Amino acid sequence: MFAAFLQYLFSGLTSGAIYALAGLGFAIIYNASHVINFAQGEFIMIGGMATATMVAAGVPLYLAIPLAMVASMLVGVAMEKFAVEPARNADVVTIIIITIGASIFMRGAAQIIWDKEFHSLPAFSGETPIAVMGATLMPQSLWVIGVAAVVIVGLWYFFNRTMFGKAMLGTSHNRLAAQLVGVAVKKVLLASFALSALLGAVGGIVVTPITFTNYEAGIMLGLKGFSAAVLGGLGNGTGAIVGGLIVGIAEAMASGYLSSAYKDAIAFIIILFVLFFMPSGLFGKRGTDRV
Amino acid sequence: MRNLMKWGATAVVVAGCSTFAGQAMAADPIKIGSILSVTGPASFLGEPEKKTLEMYVERINKEGGVLGRKVELVVYDDGGAGEKASTFTKRLIESDKVDLLIGGSTTATTMAALPLAERNEVPFISLAGAVVIVEPVKKWVFKTPHTDKMAAEKVFSDMKKRGITKIGMISEDAGFGKSGRDQSLLVVKSYGIEVVADEIYSPKDPDVTAQLTKIKNAPGVQAVFNFGFGQGPAIVTKNFKQLGIAVPLYQSHGVASKDYIKLAGDATEGVRLPAAGLVVPDQLPATDPQKPVVTAFKKDYEAAFKSDVSTFAGHAYDGLQIALAAINRARSTDKAKVRDEIEKTSGYVGTGGLVSMSPTDHMGLSPSAFHMVEIRKGDWVLSN
Amino acid sequence: MNLMTARTGGLAALAIVVAVAPVGFSNSYFYDVGVNAMFNAIVCVGLNLLIGYAGQISLGHAGFFALGAYGSGILTERYGVPAIVALTLSAAVVGILAFAVARPILKLKGHYLAMATLGIGIIIHIVLKTEAGITGGPDGMSLGNFKMLGFTIKGDQMWYWVTGVLLIFAVWLSLNLIESPVGRALRAVHGSEVGAEVVGVDTSSYKVLVFVVSAVFASVVGSLFAHKNGFITPDIGSFFGSVHFVTMVVLGGMASVYGAVVGAVILTLLPQLLAVVEQYEAMILGVIMMGTMIFMPKGLLPSLMIKLKSREAGR
């Protein structure tokens, strides 16, 4: 019995860590700009696809990874520069449509640049399952969890201990005030897209050995990442991680103990209930409206 | 706004006219219309199907066409959506005035297009799996792939042979897996096999160890049967190995492409599945009439596209060959005559097997079209 | 000449467009696309009340659309209920469901609201997909023509005219709603919810009202779509469907009834026009979406109207 429970938990942690990594990207851009970037999943896809195709073409992994990260970052910067920046003062919904347009564009480009097939990467440290009290875990799952942990610590340091990070945080709280005290708001926005695209790529690279990737892989990851970020409270990195883990574990427990057909629905019902009682998510700040 | 709407309307008209103009110039070609899921979740069906159709139409035209007429192919991408399939089918019938329809990569898109073919009396050869397409028989509708029911029967008879009586099923919740699961549950009892665990996953789930753990812990499971296609079965296979489940794993014909082995790697060792002769052309006995056909097709496809051939590409090939042969026999593109000739298809040797249709059987494949295949060291091994 | 602001003028223009468009239709495929465009337009006119006027986003309306479609499908095919009764019953059920979830959901703001409506849409989609015994599952279900009082709507041409009349009715209805005290209250909600509350507007009731109205619009169109198409799959209720509707509204122009119509028509026609460019379709669609929103952040129609007006003023 306990072994089964532990296995469900491992299954949930594996999915949850993937969702959490996706959710973090949403949190960063939201932090700096209050924009929800629906193309976040595509950054993940680009990271995974670029690395997988390069490795398949014979590029060594240690070279393919940084190249894919740079490629994804460039796409993020281009998106901010050419699509988001020009519409900065538009409505929230307008910007949402722009980012959805960007995601459709990136998917379309990916199927032409690469192809429509699924690609995989070899697991970083082999495929021998780790046995823990009757349950098993793949080493790659530990990679995903570990990378998520490193990223969250790194982000905490960046936002709280570096000047630029603080400037980003300040911009999110009050753009005008930040500008007045000398923060280059435009640069901050650009950096936030670069950072979250980079993070997306990292996520895409570590999850590809588990989930595989193709030009449409970003849709599901984006959706789950958005759910994780909202559940945790927008703009809160820790929230995104916790949100992702909750969604992942809820799905696994639901398929283990209730119904695997309804596991996704059960995860969404949990999210709805949390929002009914905590309208700003688990760790979100209660917003106040100015008249 | 009025201008905008008119702009839209005229643009459609222009688009329509240009295809009409194209038709007039090419001295009355034979027009074949095709709706395929070239993008979307079923793109690994639609993409090879489209490539195959295009390649062979080009080749046939180079060789002088059919009945001395060129063959013209019009393909629309339905993205796997039934509603789009329905509109595009209408467009093929009404605007492009096609003589015959091939396509419907998935059961849903086929079922959406089917009433239109029936109503407008256009011969329609579907490339989708589910048995509902041809049972009950619809006058104008045919199909080339094996049904999910045949696949299930093949798997269950193999299990029976090995004395397996209790199995766990894990199926994908999208069209192919869902329909396959339902058909499996219908026929499983007649093989004396009991389904003791019946689990579902979504095609894009990153991990299904929870479902597999439940199956593993179900009392008396002697084998696991997975119905699905795309990356899902590859993840199932990897998780299956991760959990160290000691019973045999059966897959459906949905994974009969090298991509599956590539994705799931070593975990595929020992996986058994029903597949058409196309995946093991070299291992077919020399007496097998399919051998030359599948060998040639595999060579053509892999030379042209530098990627491994899949049985889905074969369905499109069979559909096109059956259609063109029927047109040839009918000596015209008269829809009623072509339909009658398709129904009279007899002894056609295709990539899927031997096809002999009749007024009561619009698929015409016998169960022997399937071979049981086992994966050994990353390759298919015939195991009959 | 200022046709658009005068209610009757705008309606008359719309009626003329609907009546004249078939001149360019050479066969029933064109009518089919026309009907689909108008179906989407009706849903968007309803959704625009919610997004454009009340300022509340919904990423779940395809779910209501699918419930209407499946309600009609199941009631007429499995229980032999007359089509019009099935349509009404489905709309009533959807209305009640929307009412039940509206209060807790509409308390949420911005992206949290988007998430909640998205969740509801996805849950509906999963139920339709899973309960194959009733819905036919992912392979879809077929249903018959729309029959009413011994009269059968069939063929794309007849559907075109029926839908045309319904579209004009829907536009008229929503124009009336906007001009009513409800509409003024809604605009106050959009401007500043707290401000509206302070001056005594019962904001949450109004928001609930439009949410229910827009859901019922979607459900009714869903029912009609199901009969017209004769075959439905759960995917009509997917997340993409919802995003598609919102895109139509925003692209055409929020807070503009005719803008919603324009957006719906354009986004229904685009895939048909882009079908010829094959694999570049997605990239072009993405560029068009981004470009429109960057250069016309208020949406196509309002931005064009502003340009037109400023040119007239300059003359």
Write down the pLDDT at residue B18: 42
Asked if the Cβ–Cβ distance from B115 to C230 is below 8 Å, we say: yes
State the amino acid at position B80 in one-letter form. G
Window 20-39 of B, Cβ < 8 Å to A? 39
CB A34 within 8 A of CB A172: yes
Q: Facing residues of A135 across strands?
A: A132
Q: Is the peptide bond before B219 cis (omega within 30 degrees of 0)?
A: no
Q: Are residues B374 and B241 in the same domain?
A: yes
Could you tell me the domains of chain C?
30-301 (1.10.3470)
Write down the pLDDT at residue C200: 65
In a domain, B22, yes or no: no
Token reading at B14: 């222009």
CB B187 within 8 A of CB B131: no
CATH number of the domain residue B219 falls in: 3.40.50.2300
B208 and chain A in contact, CB less than 8 A: yes
Q: Which residues contact C198 (CB under 8 A, 6 or more apart)?
A: A291
Q: Which residue of chain B is at minimal alpha-carbon distance from C301?
A: B1
Q: What is the mean pLDDT of chain A?
A: 88
Q: Facing residues of B274 across strands?
A: B372
Instruction: Give the least confident one: A37-46, A253-262, B2-11, B187-196.
Output: B2-11
Q: Identify the segments of chain C with pLDDT beneath 50.
A: 1-4
Residue reference for tokens 């959706």:
A223
Q: Where are the beta strands (DSSP E) in B134-214?
A: 141-143, 166-172, 194-201
In a domain, B96, yes or no: yes
Burial (CB count <10 Å: 0-12, 13-18, 19+), residue A22? buried
Considering only the beta carbons, identify the residue of C51, C280, C282 that sits closest to A107. Answer: C282
**Closest Cα partner for C289 from A101, A285, B108, A278?**
A101
Distance CA A197, CA A185 (A): 19
In a domain, B290, yes or no: no
C47 and chain A in contact, CB less than 8 A: no
In a domain, B335, yes or no: yes
Asked if the Cβ–Cβ distance from B307 to A210 is below 8 Å, we say: no
In a domain, B46, yes or no: yes
Write down the pLDDT at residue B8: 43
Dihedral sign (CA B329, B330, B335, B338): negative
Q: Are residues B153 and B258 in the same domain?
A: yes
Domain boundaries, chain A: 2-124+134-277
**What value does the mean pLDDT take over residues A7-25?**
90
Token reading at A39: 């193309």
Q: How many CB pairs under 8 A join A and C?
A: 135
CB B93 within 8 A of CB B122: yes
In a domain, B118, yes or no: yes
Asked if the Cβ–Cβ distance from C114 to A36 is below 8 Å, we say: yes
Q: Are residues B267 and B339 in the same domain?
A: no
Asked if the Cβ–Cβ distance from A108 to C286 is below 8 Å, we say: yes
Write down the pLDDT at residue C103: 86
Q: Which residue of chain C is at minimal alpha-carbon distance from A99?
A: C290
Q: How far is A47 from chain B (nearest CA, A)?
A: 17
Q: Are residues B374 and B352 in the same domain?
A: no
CB B125 within 8 A of CB B316: no
Q: Which residues of C touch A280 (CB under 8 A)?
A: 112
Write down the pLDDT at residue A47: 94
In a domain, B21, yes or no: no
- Say what angle helices A185-211 and B231-242 make with each other, to 10 degrees: 70
Asked if the Cβ–Cβ distance from A216 to B243 is below 8 Å, we say: no
Asked if the Cβ–Cβ distance from C122 to A265 is below 8 Å, we say: yes
Q: Which residues contact C64 (CB under 8 A, 6 or more apart)?
A: C94, C97, C98, C124, C215, C216, C218, C219, C222
* SS3 of residue B9 by DSSP: helix
Q: Are residues B107 and B229 in the same domain?
A: no
Q: Which residues of B touch A120 (CB under 8 A)?
A: 262-263, 265
Q: Are residues B10 and B50 in the same domain?
A: yes
CB A183 within 8 A of CB A171: yes
Asked if the Cβ–Cβ distance from B87 to C300 is below 8 Å, we say: no
Write down the pLDDT at residue B83: 85
Please state which of the four CATH numbers 1.10.3470, 1.10.760, 3.40.190, 2.40.360 is assigned to the domain occupying A2-124+134-277. Answer: 1.10.3470
CB A248 within 8 A of CB A17: yes
Q: Which residues of C touch A97 (CB under 8 A)?
A: 246-247, 250-251, 289, 293
State the Rg of chain C over Cα.
Answer: 19
Token reading at A235: 């703009």
Distance CA C289, CA C298 (A): 13
Q: Each residue of C12-35: pLDDT tens digit?
A: 888 888 888 888 888 888 998 999
Preferred mutation among A37, A97, A262 to probe C, highest tally of C CBs within 10 A: A97
CB C120 within 8 A of CB A276: no
Considering only the beta carbons, identify the residue of B200, B209, B265 that sits closest to A7. Answer: B209
C260 and chain A in contact, CB less than 8 A: no
Q: Which residues of A touch B44 (CB under 8 A)?
A: 116-118
pLDDT tens-digit profile, chain B (384 residues): 444 444 444 444 444 444 444 444 446 899 999 999 998 888 888 999 999 999 999 999 999 888 889 999 999 999 888 888 989 999 999 889 999 999 899 888 998 999 899 989 999 999 998 888 888 899 999 999 988 888 999 999 999 999 999 999 999 887 788 888 988 999 999 999 999 999 999 888 888 999 999 999 999 999 999 998 888 999 999 999 999 899 999 999 888 888 889 889 889 999 999 988 888 888 888 888 888 999 999 999 999 988 888 888 999 999 999 999 999 999 888 999 999 999 999 889 888 888 999 999 999 887 777 889 999 998 899 886
Q: How many CB pairs under 8 A join A and B?
A: 101
Domain count across chain B: 2
DSSP labels for A257-275? HS-GGGHHHHHHHHHHHHH
Of A122-131, A178-187, C141-150, give the range with the top mean pLDDT.
Answer: A122-131
Q: What are residue A269's phi and psi, to 5 degrees?
A: -65, -40
Write down the pLDDT at residue C160: 93
What domain range is B135 assigned to?
A: 2-16+30-146+297-367
The continuous run of DSSP H or E covering A64 comes out as helix A61-79
Chains near B, with 3+ CB pairs < 8 A?
Answer: A, C
Write b or e for each residue in B15-44: b if 16 or more Cβ atoms lie within 10 A of its Cβ, otherwise e.
bbeebeeebeeeeebbbbbbbbbbbbbbbb
CB C233 within 8 A of CB B108: yes
Q: Are residues B84 and B65 in the same domain?
A: yes
Q: Which residues of B touch A12 (CB under 8 A)?
A: 210
Asked if the Cβ–Cβ distance from A116 to B201 is below 8 Å, we say: no
Chains near C, with 3+ CB pairs < 8 A?
Answer: A, B
CB B34 within 8 A of CB B46: no
Q: Are residues B108 and B167 in the same domain?
A: no
Q: Are residues B276 and B162 in the same domain?
A: yes
CB C207 within 8 A of CB C51: no
* SS3 of residue C255 by DSSP: coil
Q: Are residues B93 and B197 in the same domain?
A: no
Q: Which residues contact C184 (CB under 8 A, 6 or more apart)?
A: none
CB B384 within 8 A of CB B372: yes
Q: Are residues B219 and B267 in the same domain?
A: yes
Distance CA A237, CA B27 (A): 65
Q: Which residues of A touch C109 (CB under 8 A)?
A: 279, 287
State the amino acid at position C275 in one-letter form. A
* SS3 of residue B199 by DSSP: strand
The pTM score is: 0.87
Write down the pLDDT at residue C201: 67
Token reading at B347: 């002894």
Q: Are residues B83 and B136 in the same domain?
A: yes
Token reading at A58: 């014979």
Token reading at A260: 């695997």
Distance CA A256, CA B262 (A): 29
Token reading at B384: 């009959």
